[in-house]
Structure 1
Amino acid sequence: MNKFEDMETFVRVVESGSFTAAADQMNVAKSAVSRRINELEKYLATRLLQRTTRRLSLTETGRFYYERCIRLLDDLAELESLTQQRDADLTGTIRISGPMSFGMRYLIPLISDFMQQHEGLQIDMVLDDRKHDLVAEGFDMAVRVGSLTQTHLVAKKLGVMERVAAASPAYLARYGEPLHPDELNEGHLSLVYSLAPENLNWRFVGADGGNYQPRPKTRLRTNSGPALLDATIKGLGISTLPLFITEQAMREGLLQPIMPGYRLVEGAVYAVYAPGRQLSHKVRILIDYLAKHLKVVRLADLA
């Protein structure tokens, strides 16, 4: 038996909650995962997991063993990381999650360039707007845009994300152009992105430092940035989308920013990863690369 391989398999099973999920993360057959756990328990002459038809749970000995496996595997990862730093190239696989629109615009080009510099590196990237469980789903890191709701994660700020309140010329001709945030409460319609708290509660800051939180009537609420962009262009309401989504429509005159004297509180772009595990050298290098090269468009760029 390969002790470290069996320990890694055991940790994956515990953290993912099932043999099937661990097998998917490790890209091996479920039977291979089951065999490794059985061999490990036979070698240790003790039961590590309680198995039922619905769930797995750690025995008291299993929890003791799991906690020490984590320490040993972290030490091994740190040793490998220190060794890899002596080599200019990176190898292995990095599994990443990120939001769809931001990923298409920024992550894919940057990561493609990064991979060209490190030919021995493989990337497994999932782009959607769901907040994945990094440990249970086997992600090394994620890129998150806006507010961080999963506060247990370790986060590194990569850049700022400017948002803009915008509407189509047709909408403004019909409903009038608001000049102050309070006017948004008087007959205006909002289009909101449902997965970001900052888009559900609009917050503006004036030149004098004053804070305003209007609540216009919501006409459309969706988890799709492109859907909100399309609805805004068609005059269905006012949206507060990230500028990288609306910039092209603004350049073409399909949308225009409103209330130039007031700005939305800007969000940020973060790289996040689970605490308590040694961050591998290749993931740390990728995060540093993203922080150095990520240039998010700002409203001033459109002037």
Structure 2
Amino acid sequence: MDRFLSLQAFARVVSEGGFSAAARALDLSPTAVSRLVSDLEDHLGTRLLQRTTRKLTLTESGIIYLQMTGHILQQINDADIAAQNSSGVLMGTLHILATPMLASFFLAPLAARWREHHPEVMLDISVDPFSHLRVEEFDLTLMAVEDEYNGDTVVRTLGRTARILCASPGYLLRAGTLDCPGELQGHDFLEFPWKKAPGHSSGHRLRLTHDVLDTEPVEVEVKVVLRSLSFDVLLGAALAGAGLCLVSKHLAQPYLRKGALVHVLPQWQAGGLSIYAALPTRKFVPVRVAAMLDFFSGEGKQTFGMSPC
């Protein structure tokens, strides 16, 4: 039995809250992690974890054992960090979760530049439209929210990106150009459902504020004709003339320059998105995760056109 690996597996199961999450963190299969913990319990002659179908809890022996061995793992981790810092070479796998938009338009364009700096770190990227609900399962989670994030997760604010209202020339030719927010009434709208809830209505209230005039925000009801959790689908439909769509100003620029999209009501803002990088815990932050956070805060903001919050 590899006692150190078994101890490491046991500690990770506790910190991650389960065998599957621990397996991802250790780059092992859940079966292997379960076997390591069982081997450790057999070696000690006592049960460390109480397993049920709903949760894992430490036994009294498990609490004592974890308290007395935790400093050993911390010292080894500190030594690893010191060695990595001195060599300047980061290694391992970085498990990242992101929304589809951030995965496609933020992470993918950065992959090559990240590899130039850290070629020994493999990126394992998963995608979920509601990434904020699974922060505990990954090394790092990228999320985009319309409002300020109020969760209790450890987050680093990367910045804020403005959203503008866009439509194709073909759609505007068919539905009519717009000179003021009131003319949006009843227009076709392509919606991303920010709230994970059943029973969406076919209406959407756009909230707009003027860039210059100090006036009250205007809310206008538009008709939702297409709803998707994929920004690629929404953008593709907008380019094909299906309706109005909110697009990050930075991402819209190439299409605006080519004339494939038109900035609708350019003097009115349709709000923005706050971009966050979330960590499962602040107690154990691998060097490669800290390096990626610094990378996001530098080159990442330029890629996505984000401004500081």
Q: What corresponds to 1:280 in structure 2? A: 286
Q: Does residue 1:141 correspond to 2:146, yes or no? A: no
- Sequence identity (%): 27
Measure the CA separation in 2 of the matches of 1:65 and 1:273. Answer: 26
1:205 maps onto 2:190 in alignment: no
Stretches of 4+ moved more than 6 A in 1? 67-71
Counterpart of 1:32, as a letter, is A
SS at match of 2:38: helix
Q: Deviations over 1:203-241 (max 9, x none)?
A: 322122432332312111111112111222233221112
Distance 1:201 1:78 in 2: 51
Match of 1:99 in 2: 99
- Match status 1:230 vs 2:231: no
Distance in 2 (CA, whole Å) between partners of 1:123 and 1:113 is: 12
Q: Contact 1:97/1:143 (CA < 8 Å) preserved in 2?
A: yes
1:86 equivalent in structure 2: 86
Task: Describe how 1:128-207 pairs up with structure 2 within 5 A.
Answer: 128-131=128-131, 133-135=134-136, 137=137, 139-147=138-146, 151-184=151-184, 186-195=185-194, 202-206=206-210, 207=212
- What is the aligned length? 293
Aligned position for 1:115: 115
Judge conservation of contact 2:145–2:275 (CA < 8 Å) in 1.
yes
Could you tell me how far 1:31 is from its partner in structure 2? Answer: 4.4
1:32 and 2:26 are equivalent in the alignment? no
Letter in 1 for 2:191: V
Contact 2:209 2:270 (8 Å CA) reproduced: yes
Please, which moves more after superposition, 95-104 or 57-66?
A: 57-66
Give distance in 2, aligned partners of 1:94 and 1:215. Answer: 43
Rounded to whole Å, the distance in 1 between the matches of 2:89 and 2:159 is: 26
**1:255 is matched with which residue?**
261
* Residue 200 of structure 2: aligned partner: none
What TM-score do the two structures reach when normalised by structure 1? 0.81
Letter aligned with residue 208 of structure 1: L
Unmatched 5+ stretches in structure 1: none
Structure 1 residue matching 2:275: 3-state secondary structure? strand
Provide the residue aligned with 1:49 in structure 2. 49
* Distance change in 2, residues 1:116/1:196 (3 Å): farther
- Using the alignment, how far apart are the partners of 1:29 and 1:68 within structure 2? 27
Structure 2 unpaired stretches of 5+? 197-203
